[in-house]
Amino acid sequence: MLRRNSLALITTLAVLFASLQSSAKEYQLQYPETRRVDQVDTYHGVEVADPYRWLEDDVRVSAEVADWADSQNQVTRTYLDRIKQRAAIHQRLTKLWNYERYSVPQQTAGRYFFRKNSGLQNQAVFFVADSYNSQGRVLLDPNTWSEDGTIALGATAVSDDGKLLAYSRKESGSDWSTIYLLDIDTGKQLPEKLRWTRWGNIVWNADSTGFFYTRYPEPEAGQQFQSLAINPRCCFHRLGDSQDQDQLVYQRPDHPKWSFWIQRTDDNRYLVMSISRSTDPQNQVLLRPVAAPLDSKWMPLVEDFENEFSLIGNEGAKLLFLTDLDAPTKRVVAMPTDNPGREHLTEVIPASDATLESVTLLDEKLVASYLRDVATEVRIFSTAGLPLRELELPGVGSAHGFGGRQTDTETFYAFTSYATPTSIFRYDMKTGKSTKIRAPQVEFDPDQYVVRQAFFESKDGTRVPILLSHRHDLKRDGKRPTLLYGYGGFNISLSPHFSVTYATWMEMGGIVAVPNLRGGGEYGEAWHEAGKKLNKQNVFDDFIAAAEWLIAEQYTSSEKLAIMGGSNGGLLVGAVMTQRPELFGACLPAVGVMDMLRYHQFTAGHFWRDEYGTTDDPEEFKALLAYSPYHNLRPGVQYPATMVTTADTDDRVVPMHSFKFGAALQNAQAGPAPVLLRIEKRAGHGAGTPISKRIDLAADSWAFLWERLGMAAKKN
């Protein structure tokens, strides 16, 4: 402890004295010294150096890594706190964030459950109400679970009779969670405490005497946030039993990296097991009658990973699935349980030119949500696939929700866009009428802003959409500070949504530009395939082309252009800034996957094998090495100003990625632009982060860009 405090003090004093009389942009940063090691790995005859291997050690366990991280934070904090505009930015973010926000309600047994944040609460509060438009009463307030708001509410599952709530708590942003039980009528906490759960869902049985869940083995001491997430077990917990009495329902020790998702049909006829081997949507499907003993064998319906089969519901002995079989933009099919298999499918809703994202079975109707050029369309069909009507949305934007049981005659959804705060609607399945039930009051005037879509050509001629959001009075003079945000992976679509951070950026005179890169799901599975594994460079080419288009169209210039992305988007930022460092004025890679040669050896990394490929394959290794951000930094290059952000409890993309990349970038930087590492304490990959920490991070990010892009404290 003495050594750590001494090192932090020395670093702080060095930076302070070196920059005492100068502005943040002018003074020369003095980075902490980062030890290098002679680590060399050989892949398929190619030697690859890894001088910062020691930074892979868990920052919460290794004193040396913790000292280094504290020193980096000291340098970053000193730099950011010198930016005079940061206080005003933080104040505006806080004021703008202070509005009521609601989740889409869920109705069970005549009760309505939803989450609400009054404005600046660190965590949303969980409510129950007797009607959809009632204020309800508090069931769970996660803000009372910790002083700093770092324990969050995870999954929730209400029993069929509406009397019991199973829920999980997640601490410090970790993917690990613990399941608890609550009596809804009395608010009394039941004695259950089920540990070492992670991503699986919670599914009650029909008589509310127990539930199915998935757990992982207890990790070895000190490896909780580093070791691979393998060997899950689907179990059944009977109320009142201890966790060691829970009955095993399914596991695959022969395939320890597979994961499970269990569902029970609303008529209590079948249990359906979906098995995934990666983050790809393609899955196996197993079936078992609910009435069968818990240790019964499962009947295979789909025995490979060639296609996606997402269960929608059932009509008696017929199961309905959303699938990409013979349909890259997806369709709905029916499969008889007494004669399963692809060859026995019947088509219910054919594929269209819009991408079918989700389908719900409600009131003997299918509610189908599509994405057309990134905007939501919702169509209602009969269970025979006959078009009935379209749901009229309040504008061009994103809608999500539409949950419920098959017998429900109402459902709920949320609608939002970049300039439209999220509102909640009730939809009557009988009449087709939508009613707005929650409308936020935000100190933000959407009429002052414009959101428009354009298209540009990527390197290979592919047409890629981009959404631009900015003030109406914008002048296209090539001088506008512009934030280019991207993701491009895992079949995830970036659809428009309201963001306080984006709104603040636009108020500051900035442009928000969001291209829909290949690798996402915006145009179906073919779009996804075009940006994964050996095609990953397409994603980077799309992003680079977006930047060049913004400059050519006189929106901005390289000096005024910042790029930002998180997780797979952090990889995107890291890759393009190493390939085209002269193209950008500032870079904000967040919780990024930066070491593409070793990512699969930590926590959830092995799930990404089908997305990225691994070093086990010679061709995949060659492609990974060609763009891996950590391995493509070159000494003597002038890189853009960069602030790398991560968190100490990120056990999704472990912080070693950002640590190694940041250390290598500081070592390679030949220009005067700063390279900062910002490491959040008691936080993870993003989910469950307290509002106070989110505001602090946004203020730091926008202050960094304000200073690096030369933004003026006046209207642009």
Q: How far apart are the first and last CA of the chain?
A: 49
Query: What pLDDT, on the 0 to 100 scale, is given for residue 712?
Result: 77
Identify the domain boundary among 372, 406, 441.
441
470, 417: one domain: no
Report whether 546 contacts 459 (CB < 8 A).
Answer: no
Establish if 430 belongs to a structural domain.
Answer: yes
Domain that residue 408 falls in = 352-441
| pLDDT tens per residue, range 499-537 | 999 999 999 999 999 999 999 999 999 999 999 999 999
Establish if 356 belongs to a structural domain.
Answer: yes
Instruction: Please state the rounded mean pLDDT for residues 270-275.
Output: 98
| Residue 11 pLDDT exceeds 90 | no
Report whether 492 contacts 520 (CB < 8 A).
Answer: yes
Q: How far apart are CA 639 and CA 668, in angstroms?
A: 9
Establish if 462 belongs to a structural domain.
Answer: yes
DSSP character string of 50-82 = -TTGGGGS-TTT-HHHHHHHHHHHHHHHHHHHT
Instruction: Please state the rounded mean pLDDT for residues 84-110.
Output: 98
Q: How far apart are CA 106 and CA 129, in angstroms?
A: 10
DSSP character string of 258-297 = -EEEEEE-TTS-EEEEEEESSSSS--EEEEEETTS-TTPP
Q: Residue 362: what are its φ and ψ, rounded to 5°?
A: -140, 135
Query: What pLDDT, on the 0 to 100 scale, is given for residue 37?
Result: 98
**What mean pLDDT value characterizes the chain?**
95
448, 427: one domain: no
Establish if 475 belongs to a structural domain.
Answer: yes
| pLDDT tens per residue, range 444-501 | 999 999 999 999 999 999 999 999 999 999 999 999 999 999 999 999 999 999 999 9
Structure tokens given for 157: 């599952």
| Residue 155 pLDDT exceeds 50 | yes
377, 484: one domain: no
Q: How far apart are CA 543 and CA 554, in angstroms?
A: 17
Structure tokens given for 378: 């919702």
Structure tokens given for 293: 């003993």
437, 559: one domain: no
The count of domains in the chain is 2
663, 704: one domain: yes
Instruction: Please state the rounded mean pLDDT for residues 414-433.
Output: 96
| pLDDT tens per residue, range 286-299 | 999 999 999 999 99
| Residues annotated as catalytic (active site), given as ranges | 567, 685
434, 580: one domain: no
Instruction: Please give the C-alpha separations between residue 23 and each of 78, 83, 91, 173, 448, in angstroms, as whole numbers.
Output: 11, 8, 21, 35, 33
489, 432: one domain: no
Identify the domain boundary among 441, 461, 487.
441
Establish if 512 belongs to a structural domain.
Answer: yes
CATH of residue 43: 3.40.50.1820
CB atoms near residue 365 (< 10 Å): 19
In this prediction, residue 16 has a pLDDT band, given cuts at 50, 70 and 90, of very low
Query: What pLDDT, on the 0 to 100 scale, is given for residue 28?
Result: 72
**Which residue bears the tokens 């100190």?**
443
Query: What pLDDT, on the 0 to 100 scale, is given for residue 276?
Result: 97
| Residue 7 pLDDT exceeds 50 | no
Query: What pLDDT, on the 0 to 100 scale, is given for residue 714?
Result: 46
409, 545: one domain: no
534, 408: one domain: no
Establish if 10 belongs to a structural domain.
Answer: yes
Instruction: Please state the rounded mean pLDDT for residues 124-149.
Output: 97
Instruction: Please state the rounded mean pLDDT for residues 650-672.
Output: 98
503, 367: one domain: no
Percent of the chain with pLDDT over 90: 94
493, 555: one domain: yes
Report whether 415 contacts 497 (CB < 8 A).
Answer: no
| pLDDT tens per residue, range 460-471 | 999 999 999 999
Find how far residue 309's CA is from the centre of its chain. 22
583, 606: one domain: yes
Identify the domain boundary among 441, 466, 490.
441
| Residue 647 pLDDT exceeds 50 | yes
Half-sphere exposure of 680 (CA within 13 A, CB side): 30
| pLDDT tens per residue, range 238-264 | 999 999 999 999 999 999 999 999 999
Establish if 431 belongs to a structural domain.
Answer: yes
Establish if 272 belongs to a structural domain.
Answer: no
